[in-house]
């Protein structure tokens, strides 16, 4: 396709052309925003590898009742209202990889940003949260403690 053909198509189909430009801008913006968010996203298999290889700390922000119904083995339950990156318990983990998990992957990002601001170097979020973990057919542990 030549440039002239592309230009002619754009002139014949202005709404399609505008939609293409809008989608392209949105994709570029999303990719740039991910570069500057300060933490990386992990898929479930990557989380397992990080836990096994680097003794990563997994922080689960799920409500207590959801945590008790099923959580990643070894994860620590922390309520979002009580989440404090400056706490003594978390300060000891600054050198470790820290993965923040929630039910759907939507609320963990804000806590991950707080960890980065507090000086944690290796901060991750489980993309898709516990739902993604379940969809990957990975096991969950029931009860109060992980």
| Residues contacting residue 86 through CB under 8 Å, at least 6 positions apart | 118
Same domain, 45 and 8: no
Question: What is the CATH classification number for the domain harbouring 73?
Answer: 3.40.250.10
Question: How far out from the chain centre does Cα 121 lie?
Answer: 15
Residues in a beta bridge with 141: 71
Using the predicted structure, report yes or no on whether residue 6 has a pLDDT greater than 60.
yes
- Structural domain boundaries, residue 58: 40-135
Q: How confident is the model at residue 35 (pLDDT cuts 50, 70, 90)?
A: low
Same domain, 114 and 48: yes
In a domain, 104, yes or no: yes
In a domain, 89, yes or no: yes
Contact indicator for 11, 83 with CB cutoff of 8 Å: no
Domain count within the chain: 2
Contact indicator for 73, 37 with CB cutoff of 8 Å: no
Averaged pLDDT for residues 9-24: 92
Same domain, 78 and 11: no
Stronger pLDDT, 30 or 40, i.e. the higher one: 40
How does pLDDT run across 38-83, given as a tens digit for each residue? Answer: 788 999 999 999 999 998 999 999 999 999 999 999 999 998 888 8
Question: Distance between CA atoms of 124 and 97, rounded to whole angstroms?
Answer: 7
Using the predicted structure, report yes or no on whether residue 31 has a pLDDT greater than 80.
no
């Amino acid at each position: 396709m030549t440039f002239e053909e592309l230009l002619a198509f754009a002139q014949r189909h202005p709404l399609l052309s505008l939609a293409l430009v809008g989608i392209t801008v949105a994709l570029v913006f999303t990719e740039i925003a991910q570069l500057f968010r300060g933490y990386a996203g992990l898929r479930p298999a990557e989380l397992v590898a990080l836990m096994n290889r680097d003794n990563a700390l997994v922080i689960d922000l799920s409500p207590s009742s959801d945590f008790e119904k099923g959580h990643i083995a070894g994860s620590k339950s922390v309520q979002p209202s009580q989440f404090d990156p400056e706490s003594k318990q978390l300060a000891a983990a600054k050198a470790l990889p820290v993965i923040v998990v929630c039910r759907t992957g939507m609320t963990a990002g804000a806590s991950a940003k707080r960890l980065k601001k507090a000086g944690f170097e290796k901060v991750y979020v489980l993309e898709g949260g516990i739902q993604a973990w379940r969809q990957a057919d990975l096991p969950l542990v029931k009860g109060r403690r992980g």
